[in-house]
Amino acid sequence: MDLFEAEQRLLLAIYGGQEVAEGEDYDTCGRLIGYGLIRGDDTSNFKGNRYEYLKVTAIGREVLAA
């Protein structure tokens, strides 16, 4: 699977322990969830868009290993 640089960077950050994505990473995180590479909860509110409790899925770990 070919990922954009921003997607690769965020996937590595989540694998490394980042559990929150907001701001510029919000849309990138949505794409990674759509690909099935990560899972998380959309906790957006009136203060901004945000994903929390992010974890890399088994498929995401396979992509990282490739």
Q: What is the number of structural domains in the chain? A: 1
Contact 15, 3 (CB under 8 A): no
Nearest to 37, CA basis, from 10, 6, 17, 16 = 10
- 33 has a pLDDT exceeding 90: yes
Q: Copy the structure tokens of residue 19.
A: 């559990």
Q: How do residues 44-56 score in pLDDT, each as one tens digit?
A: 999 899 999 999 9
CATH label of the domain that carries residue 42: 1.10.10.10
Say what the pTM is: 0.91
Domain residues for the domain of 30 are 5-65
